[in-house]
Chains A and B, each alone.
Chain A
Amino acid sequence: MPADGGIGAPNKRREDVRFLTGKGKYTDDLNRPGQAHVIFVRSQVAHGNLTAVNTDEAAAMPGVIRIFTGADFAEVGGLPCGWQVTDRHGEPMQEPAHPVLAQGKVRHVGDAIAAVVAETADQARDAAEAVEVEIDELPAVVDMKAALAADAPKVHDDLSSNLCYDWGFVEENKAAVEEAFANAAHVTTLELVNNRLIANPMEPRVAIGDYDAAGGDSTLYTTSQNPHVIRLLMGAFVLGIPEHKLRVVAPDVGGGFGSKIFHYAEEAFCTFAAKALERPVKWTSTRSEAFITDAHGRDHVTTIQLALDADNNFTAIRTDTHANMGAYLSTFAPSVPTWLHGTLMAGNYRTPLIYVNVKAVFTNTVPVDAYRGAGRPEATFQLERVIDKAARELGVDPIALRRQNFITEFPYATPVAVEYDTGNYVATMDKLEEIADLAGFDARRAESAAKGKLRGLGVNCYIEACGIAPSNLVGQLGARAGLYESATVRVNATGGLVVMTGSHSHGQGHETAFPQVVADMIGIDPSMVEIVHGDTANTPMGMGTYGSRSLAVGGSAMVRATEKIIAKAKKIAAHLMEAAEGDIELKDGQFSVAGTDKSVAWGDVTLAAYVPHNYPLEDIEPGLEETAFYDPANFTYPAGAYACEVEVDPDTGKVTIERFSAADDFGNIVNPMIVDGQVHGGLGQGIGQALLEHAVYDEDGQLLSGSYMDYAMPRADDVPFYTVDHSCQTPCTHNPLGVKGCGEAGAIGSPPAVVNAVVDALRSAGHDVTHIDMPLSPHRVWQAMQA
């Protein structure tokens, strides 16, 4: 029984029953008795001094309860930033205030100026239109390099400039890197843009604040990937509510992709207003609002250089990136272009010297923060693109150049501070060449040519660092949080289990995969295990879900807690069978005494724990419930090799993806079907970035791609049927499951494959193209062919 449903089984996702039948319980499905609604008055200009907010007329309109302005928040804390980066000179980053409602100035289109609370959302919307806002418009800074000019308008008047930080990594390597470049036999240089994206989860953000005046308890229902983190940040830094008087609930969440990690002003507002009004206050983002308030992703402008010796060995990498922070520092924004990006610049290759410079820049745009992959896609894209370019310049096969420089011995300490525990990049590339049928490419290219299409092949590798940890290390790097995970395993008298996890599921399939782990350890059916998550009132303090960490870190916490359960259960079983504890074995849900035919069932032991009539009460307590916190010793390092084949229409520039193959090494696999799905989703997002998605601002700071009419999301017919393989498995050496994480891989590894393929296609037709910036829209590809 357990072998079919435990670790390694492709169990169907139990949560899909409610998701696919419309029975999910999302935050907007919740309504509290007496609930009021808030609509925010938002800036329609990117930059300006707020000279007046007149609410008199609006306040008199039907249903209006109260209108809040910046003045109401003058004494309230701003939104905190959860990561402090230290610059190359040892100075802390510039960290501007981030008010809940604008204080004297608006800094991006969408910045909240006032909040109208009314009996109904429509009444609030009507009144919000009647709020009179006077703004002295200032010139906007949108372009990052222009923002750093000495005479550029400042986004924050109290900061010395628009430079958040100038980060060098590893600063001590800088001189040696320069020397390596001076001595290089060949240097390849590539300038590129990692395009700004908007996460666009299917469920827009929602927040409901609730306040129980009798007990003085606040509750926030919110669309969050990490409710405990929101409780800590909002309670401690914004509203001054101790954690025992604040509950944060994140029920079913319809996708996050990073954008729901962060603490947003609307959450703080609803919690604050509910207490002020002693009424529940609900906010539901419109899709239009999501475009101008959800944190955006990526938006790096980079120059990367690769130095090679005469034998084509990589000798050094130097990269120079401008990273857009937007108008304020979102919760984890400073970490993304630094520690989640610079530490990955070695990729899968032996490059002895690396220097990464990142200038983080404030602009009059929506804040930018982690988005599926967060820093690692940016690192992978530039590295894999510059290697491809180098191969072409040197006239060598791009796969061979990669293979020649692969890291082959593990553990491997990179020159950028991380140590890869395991991997086998040769094996994943071998697997890729097989599943992608690279040998058949020439024939397929000829078939495309017969149709008048240009076929191209792009191949690349990726590595990522998942399961971000350990806490003491990230603390040294500037994180203002720990990065452990927690689990409480509660066994009921009749043998079923409830596992309360600090991880949060918003599409990842935790409710299916986690029970497989626990059930496998005990030898029972996964249906006996229920997962509870998303409510600070009934789960242990956890850090939430992002960075492909839930199984590696949260799953490991579950293993540790279950180990404690089994240890205690064995003591009970030993008592019941009058045997020595050391002789007790647990298999297939049966405790037995080694070498005998004595056994008791799992359910007998759990019943004894709660009905302790025949029980060693003098030695152990009744009950069967254990908690564990797990803080990993290192990141995990999933890696893989991807191949993309495209057809380009030479007349229009239209790119279609004909084949896409992914060979990933995720270590051990708990549920291969869920892993397939995670890879498919990641590939879809990566292909979306490569071909379609682009958040475009004009020079005045207006978002031109502010709706689905202009922001192109990938659709089913934009992506091919994927060939996905994860049979290459080098288990993680430092977590008990040997798992590495799979959630972001597809989004990290696929953009360079697509661009490599399109460049290859154009070059096959004689176009002297070395790079096209994403998204590779038909227009851009056509332009590249005209050059």
Chain B
Amino acid sequence: MYEFDIEKPSTIDEAVAALASDEAQALGGGQTLIPTLKQRLAAPGVLVSLGGIDALKGIRPEGDTLVIGAGTCHADVAADGTIPALSALAAGIGDPAVRNRGTIGGSLANNDPSACYPAGVLGLGATVVTNQREIGAGDFFTGLFETALEDGEIITAVKLPRPEAAAYVKFEQPASRFALVGVFVSRTGTEVRVAVTGASEDGVFRWTEAEAALSANFAPDALDGMSPDGDMISDIHGSAEYRAHLVAVLTKRAVAAC
């Protein structure tokens, strides 16, 4: 780890001010950033910890929407249960230590292509709230480790509409236990969303062909013979072909679990 300064603001405005420096880096739960620092793969001059900002924490219902503060840890989301599929997703991230440190905002801002939360947020059609604006999930995730966030922009909360039914099914990469493929399916009325993580070279994506088929017939066999298009990741844990196959298998399982 290289030396750095750390600041721990207590308000969002203070955090934004602290992040104005070129050398500054926001720190959420640190479950990705700290290991990266320990391996000397990043060298921020200033870490701006968001952990002291009370306004970023907590879970509250707003009508049919669940609002989760960006600084809320996975364990708290897991325990909430308002959207059972989302709580189950959170309960399956990492291990207890990770779940008690890692935050939903940090996960979304990092947008790891194998992370679970992007699938949940995209699959629920959530809205990412920042200190500047509200961004629809479909516009938020822009590629591997890429998001629509601008410099100095901090995620403050996520607004998640409560679906009529939803399920998340993750197939774990054997070593990291990140998602080799993860599929989040939600249904509200005839609107079906299928969001896939872990599989695509472009990061989390909606499998729109499956959504169309499921809108007409919300049943696993509606997907028979289908598999997603696009460039799938191929690595030592699974070929592109295998990942495409898993997307179809897991989507069916998620539909069955809804």
Interface residues of A in 118-132 (CB under 8 A from B): 122, 125, 129
The CB with the most chain B CB atoms within 10 A, among A129, A691, A709, is that of A709
A654 closest partner in B (C-beta):
B171
How far apart sit A652 and B1, CA to CA, in the bound complex (Å)?
39
Tell me the B residues contacting A by CB distance below 8 Å: 1, 39-40, 171, 174-176, 178, 180, 236-239, 242, 245-246, 249
> A708 vs B237: C-alpha distance in the bound complex, in angstroms?
13
A245 on the B face (CB < 8 A): no
From A409-417, A722-730, A774-782, the one touching the partner chain is A774-782
- A779–B238 contact, CB under 8 A? yes
CB distance from B54 to the nearest CB of A (A): 33
What are 20 A-B interface contacts by the 8 Å CB criterion?
A125-B40, A652-B246, A691-B174, A692-B174, A692-B175, A694-B236, A696-B236, A705-B175, A709-B175, A709-B178, A710-B236, A711-B175, A712-B174, A713-B175, A777-B237, A778-B174, A779-B238, A779-B239, A782-B242, A783-B239
Residues on A with C-beta less than 8 A from B178 are 709
Nearest residue (CB) in B for A711 is B175
How many of chain A's residues have a CB under 8 angstroms from any CB in B?
A: 24
**Is A288 close to B, CB under 8 A?**
yes
Say whether A709 contacts B236, CB under 8 Å. no
Give Cα A782 to B246, complex, Å. 10
Interface pair B245/A782, CB less than 8 Å apart: yes
Given A696-B236, A783-B239, 15 additional A-B pairs, CB 8 A = A129-B40, A651-B249, A694-B236, A704-B236, A705-B175, A708-B175, A709-B176, A710-B175, A711-B175, A712-B175, A713-B175, A778-B174, A782-B242, A782-B245, A783-B242
**How does the 8 Å CB contact mask read for A7-46 relative to B, with 1 for contact and 0 for none?**
0000000000000000000000000000000000000000
Within 8 A of B (CB), among A760-778: 777-778
Least CB distance, A1 to chain B, in whole angstroms: 44
In the complex, the chain B residue whose C-beta lies closest to that of A705 is B236
Number of A-B contacts (CB under 8 A): 45
Would A779 and B175 be within 8 Å (CB), given that A696-B236, A704-B236, A710-B237 are in contact?
no
How far does the alpha carbon of A288 sit from the alpha carbon of B236 in the complex, in Å?
19
**Residue from B39, B40, B171, B242 with most neighbouring chain A CB atoms (10 Å):** B242
> Which residue on A lies nearest to B245, using beta carbons?
A782
Query: In the bound complex, how far is the Cα of B250 from the Cα of A651, in angstroms?
Result: 9
Which residue of A122, A288, A692, A710 contacts B39 across the interface (Cβ within 8 Å)? A288
Rounded to whole angstroms, the CA-CA distance of A705 and B236 in the bound complex is: 8
Within 8 A of B (CB), among A688-738: 691-692, 694, 696, 704-705, 708-713
Asked whether, in the complex, the Cβ of B239 is within 8 Å of the Cβ of A652, the reply is: no
Interface pair B39/A779, CB less than 8 Å apart: no
Q: A692 vs B239: C-alpha distance in the bound complex, in angstroms? A: 17
Which residues in B have their C-beta under 8 angstroms from that of A122? 1
Is B242 a contact partner of A708 (Cβ separation < 8 A)? no
**Closest residue on chain B to residue A698 by CB atoms:** B236
Q: How far is the CA of A778 from the CA of B238 in the complex (A)?
A: 8
User: Closest Cβ of chain B: how far from A489's Cβ, in Å?
Assistant: 46
B residues near A705, Cβ cutoff 8 Å = 175, 236
From residue B50, how far is it (CB to closest CB) to chain A in Å?
25
Given the complex, which residues of A lie within 8 Å of B236, measured CB to CB? 694, 696, 704-705, 710
B175 x A652 contact (CB < 8 A)? no
Tell me which residues across on chain B come within 8 A of A779, comparing CB atoms.
237-239, 242
Question: Which of chain A's residues has its CB closest to B242's CB?
Answer: A779
Q: From residue A91, how far is it (CB to closest CB) to chain B in Å?
A: 38
Query: What is the bound-complex CA distance between A777 and B178, given in angstroms?
Result: 15
Give the residue name and chain of the B residue nearest to A694 (CB).
B236
Residues of A within 8 A of B175 (CB): 692, 705, 708-713
Decide: A652 and B171 in contact? CB cutoff 8 A.
Answer: yes
Which A residues touch B239, using CB under 8 A? 779, 783
Contacts of A129 in B (CB 8 A): 40
Count chain A CB atoms within 10 A of each CB in B175, B176, B236, B245 and give the residue with the most: B175
Q: State in angstroms the CA–CA spacing of A710 and B246 once bound together.
A: 19
Known A-B contacts A651-B249, A652-B171; the reply to A710 vs B176 at CB < 8 A is yes
Closest residue of A by beta carbon distance from B253: A651
Complex A-B, nearest 10 residue pairs according to Cβ-Cβ distance, in ascending order: A712-B175, A712-B174, A779-B238, A709-B176, A651-B249, A779-B242, A710-B175, A696-B236, A704-B236, A692-B174
Q: How far is the CB of A42 from chain B (nearest CB, A)?
A: 14
* A710 to B175 CA separation, bound complex (whole angstroms): 5
Which of chain A's residues have a CB closer than 8 A to the CB of B180?
778
User: A778–B180 Cα gap in the complex (Å)?
Assistant: 11
**Residues of chain B lying within 8 A (CB to CB) of residue A125:** 40
* Chain A residues whose CB sits within 8 angstroms of the CB of B1 once the complex forms: 122
Which B residues touch A783, using CB under 8 A? 239, 242
Complex interface: chain B residues within 8 A of A692 (CB):
174-175
Task: Give bound CA distance, A696 to B174, whole Å.
Answer: 14
Which residues of A sit under 8 angstroms from B242, Cβ to Cβ? 779, 782-783
- With beta carbons under 8 angstroms apart, the residue of B40, B176, B237, B249 that contacts A652 is B249
Report Cα–Cα, A42/B33, bound state, in Å: 24
In angstroms, how far is the closest chain B Cβ from the Cβ of A125? 8
**Least Cβ distance of B199 to chain A in Å?**
13
Q: Nearest residue in B to A779 (C-beta to C-beta)?
A: B238
A708, B176: Cβ atoms closer than 8 Å = yes
Chain B nearest CB from A652 CB (Å) reads: 6
Distance from A198 Cβ to chain B, minimum over Cβ atoms (Å): 12
Shortest distance from the beta carbon of B253 to any chain A beta carbon, whole Å = 8
Kindly list chain B residues whose C-beta atoms are within 8 Å of the C-beta of A713.
175
Residue interface bits A120-163, CB-to-B below 8 A is 1, else 0: 00100100010000000000000000000000000000000000
Which B-chain residue is minimally distant from A777 (CB atoms)? B174
The chain B residue sitting closest to A653, CB to CB, is: B242
Within 8 A of B (CB), among A290-339: none
Q: Which residues of A contact B249 (CB under 8 A)?
A: 651-652
**Residues of chain B contacted by A778 (CB below 8 angstroms):** 171, 174, 180, 238
Q: Which residue of B lies closest to A704 (CB)?
A: B236
- The CA-CA distance from A250 to B249 in the complex, in Å, is 52
